[in-house]
Chain A
Amino acid sequence: MAHHHAEPQVTVLPPDTAKIKKLWMTALILLVITVVEFIVAFTIPHEYKDARVWIFVIMTIVKAAYIVGEFMHLKYETKFLMWSILIPIIFIVWMLVAFVYEGMAIGVAR
């Protein structure tokens, strides 16, 4: 007799409705922020360039926090893992500030 490989017994758990609701709420927040970004883009005049840029940057960081925290679940991982990922981001901020200032200096020098 050939050995018959039995299919594994799988117990399917019922959907976690509270968790699923929270995920849809996160999606809704992301979409609302994107819509607000559109409103800002077409209501605040281009003359206020600095204000526009800062509003966009802050809203982008809020969106990124929701994606990384909720969708990627980083908020609920151990603190050690969370900071291992977040602390190196300092280098990106440093690089950003340094390079944009450098770019402005190049623009003046031209």
Chain B
Amino acid sequence: MASTSATATASWDGGSSPMNASYGKLMMWFFLLSDAFTFSALLITYGLVRSSHAAYDGLVDAFTFSQTYWPIPEKVFEAVPFLHGMELPLVFVGIMTFVLIMSSVTMVLAVEAGHRMDRKAVEKWMLWTLLGGITFLSCQAWEWAHFIHGTDAGSTLADGTKFFGANLSFNQYGPPDFAAFFFFITGFHGFHVFSGVCLNFLIYYNTVTGVYERRGHYEMVEKVGLYWHFVDLVWVFVFTFFYLV
């Protein structure tokens, strides 16, 4: 109080927040850092296993599914709902990326509205964010269903039998590890999206019932917003390393 020192070291002596962020926000940041390590471990393990498998080195147009090499992702993910039989590589996953980026924008607009204590605007943008999250999850459900059931042609095994789709021990697209990583990485990300949708709903509910207005600030919107952007961030990496590379 009496101290007039305004140096950076003095701010660590107590009574102030040297990082200029609340406890809750800091802990959200450090949780997200640890979550980044978890996702990195998954993606890096995928990198290790993929680089230890042979890559397809023939002509792209002549590509066929085989157990002996890792598939080209764009040859696997080329189906779009309602357009059965058409080859549209990566189009559906592109739509999913668009949906998730848009829901990140609406989330950050909700945070902005919260700073201004604009309850109606927070409600509006939280609803859009929820819609984006639910749309993404629905798209992923379709993608999984298609991946599990497989294509019309399937792939022919060494003994002449046909195999369609994928399970945890076998799949028509490539080595067993390919489907295992697809399920684990997109599944773990999808579960994060699901948790995010639940948290977003909680925020929306509390906004509508006026909890944050009575509290005098909308910091919870900001904290859950950080989590929601992180989910978008992880998808950017999954999109690149699982679908593009």
Binding site for B on A (CB under 8 A): 8, 10-16, 19-20, 23-24, 26-27, 30-31, 34, 37-38, 41-42, 45-46, 49, 52-53, 56-57, 59-60, 63-64, 67-68, 70-72, 77-78, 80-81, 84-85, 88-89, 91-92, 95-96, 99-100, 102-104, 106-107, 110
Contacts and interface: CB of A to CB of B under 8 A. Distances in A.
B51 A56 contact: no
A41 B74 contact: yes
B245 interface: yes
Nearest to A68: B233
B116 A13 contact: yes
B29 to A, nearest CB: 6
Given A85-B29, A96-B44, A20 B109 contact: yes
Given A60-B240, A92-B36, A107-B52, A78 B19 contact: yes
A80 B90 CA distance: 40
Contacts of A100: 44, 47-48, 51
Q: Is the interface of B mostly helix, strand, loop or mixed?
A: helix
A56 B245 contact: yes
Contact of B51 (A70, A71, A84, A107): A107
A88 B33 contact: yes
Given A31-B101, A100-B47, A11 B236 contact: no
A60 B243 CA distance: 13
B105 A23 contact: yes
Interface stretch (B79-87, B127-135, B163-171, B224-232): B224-232
Given A11-B117, A100-B51, 11 more contacts: A13-B118, A15-B121, A16-B112, A19-B112, A34-B101, A56-B240, A67-B229, A72-B225, A72-B226, A99-B48, A103-B52
B187 interface: no
18 contacts: A12-B116, A13-B116, A13-B117, A15-B112, A15-B118, A20-B109, A31-B98, A41-B74, A53-B245, A71-B104, A71-B107, A71-B232, A72-B230, A81-B20, A84-B19, A85-B29, A95-B44, A100-B47
A60 B43 CA distance: 14
Contacts of A12: 116-119
A78 B245 contact: no
Interface in B33-59: 33, 36-37, 40-41, 44-45, 47-55
Contacts of B232: 67, 71
A69 to B, nearest CB: 11
Contacts of B115: 13, 16
B108 A99 contact: no
Contacts of A91: 37
A89 B36 contact: yes
B216 interface: yes
Nearest to A96: B44
